[in-house]
Chains A and B, each alone.
Chain A
Amino acid sequence: MNSAWFLYIGFAAALVFIGLYGLLAMRNLIKLFIGIEVLSKGVSLALVATGFAKSHLLIAQAITVTFIVVEVSVVATALAIIINIYRQTGSLDIRRLTKLKG
């Protein structure tokens, strides 16, 4: 069971790495959010795998369900902000947001 847990945690770390890479290297706002989604998949995999390995699956499931609810709320708000940014600037390029007016 212990080695299986390390396998899951290793793959969860790989997902977190891919998400962080997306956040650092991409310029499209939607791509940045896909990066955040991938990162959160890594976190939920780590949570459930730890609960599975330590036989605390019920509490791990309860925490992960809470996490998914928060994730949906964040994604809905962020995508609404992205649509408004597109309407204002006509682009989804993150570099355009560094130019401040006023």
Chain B
Amino acid sequence: MVIQIVLLGGLVLFSAAAILFRDLLKAAISLAFASLFLGILFFLMKAPYVGAFEISVVAGLITVLFIVTIALTKMEGNVRESRAALWIFPIFFALFLIIDIAVMKSLVGKIPAVESAPESGTFGQALWGLRTFDLVGQIGVILAGVFAVLALFRKRRKDE
């Protein structure tokens, strides 16, 4: 359990750093580290498929997309973040943590554990066999993303 708590702490720390770093490149790399920690946590929770997805897609692909965007927009893009937002964050976060811990402590033991039979089958069956029309929706989402990027980077023709 100690490893899990260290990983969860690192995840929250790197996520906060990703928000608070003024340098966008450092922020993107902190986000990648946070994803890496989350991926390792998923492996420890015996969820290897989603762990592999988290590390390869979120820590890899999305970080590359962020870094390409940062490079194309010439670093900071002339934006001044408000200084108040940086020093107010620890106060708000500490307040939130106190409330969070109090609520979670009060809830432990009050919510009855739902009895559940152990799962049978494989991950492939859960991913493909138990689902029907939502797969069409997922394919639609992927296609929408592809066509949106193509439409947004469309070049104007010379005769227009």
Residues of A within 8 A of B (CB): 1-4, 6-11, 13-15, 17-19, 21-22, 25-31, 33-35, 37-38, 41, 44-45, 48-49, 51-52, 54-62, 64-66, 68-77, 79-84, 86, 90-93
B156: interface (CB < 8 Å): no
Beyond the given pairs A61-B127, A65-B127, A93-B77, 11 more chain A to chain B contacts, judged by CB atoms under 8 angstroms and listed by A's residue number, are A8-B8, A13-B100, A34-B19, A55-B118, A56-B116, A57-B45, A61-B126, A65-B53, A69-B142, A75-B65, A76-B145
Neighbouring A residues of B107 by C-beta, 8 Å: 6
Residues of B within 8 A of A (CB): 1, 4-5, 8, 11-12, 15-16, 18-19, 24, 27-28, 31, 34-35, 38, 41-42, 45-47, 49-50, 53-54, 57-58, 61-62, 65-66, 68-70, 72-73, 76-82, 85, 88-89, 92-93, 96-97, 100-101, 104, 107-109, 111, 113-114, 116-119, 121-123, 125-127, 130-131, 134, 138, 141-142, 144-145, 148-149, 152-153
Q: Please, which residue of chain A has its CB at the minimum distance from the CB of B74? A: A86
Q: Given the known A-B contacts A26-B19, A68-B58, are A37 and B31 also in contact in the complex, defined by CB atoms under 8 Å? A: yes
**B148/A28 in contact, CB under 8 A:** no
Inter-chain CB contacts under 8 Å: number = 220
Which among B58, B76, B107 has the greatest number of chain A C-beta atoms within 10 A? Answer: B58
Top 10 closest pairs, chain A to chain B, by CB: A73-B145, A92-B77, A25-B85, A58-B126, A22-B19, A80-B152, A77-B148, A28-B79, A11-B8, A62-B127
Q: Please, which residue of chain B has its CB at the minimum distance from the CB of A74? A: B145
Q: Given the known A-B contacts A34-B66, A77-B145, A92-B79, are A68 and B54 also in contact in the complex, defined by CB atoms under 8 Å? A: yes
**A31/B27 in contact, CB under 8 A:** yes
**B119/A58 in contact, CB under 8 A:** yes
Q: Please, which residue of chain B has its CB at the minimum distance from the CB of A91? A: B78
**A2/B113 in contact, CB under 8 A:** yes
**B47/A14 in contact, CB under 8 A:** no
Neighbouring A residues of B42 by C-beta, 8 Å: 48
B16 CB, nearest partner CB in chain A, Å? 5
Neighbouring A residues of B119 by C-beta, 8 Å: 55-59
Neighbouring B residues of A25 by C-beta, 8 Å: 82, 85, 88-89
Neighbouring A residues of B46 by C-beta, 8 Å: 52, 57
Q: Given the known A-B contacts A2-B109, A13-B100, A18-B93, are A38 and B38 also in contact in the complex, defined by CB atoms under 8 Å? A: no
Q: Given the known A-B contacts A10-B104, A38-B31, A77-B149, are A65 and B66 also in contact in the complex, defined by CB atoms under 8 Å? A: no
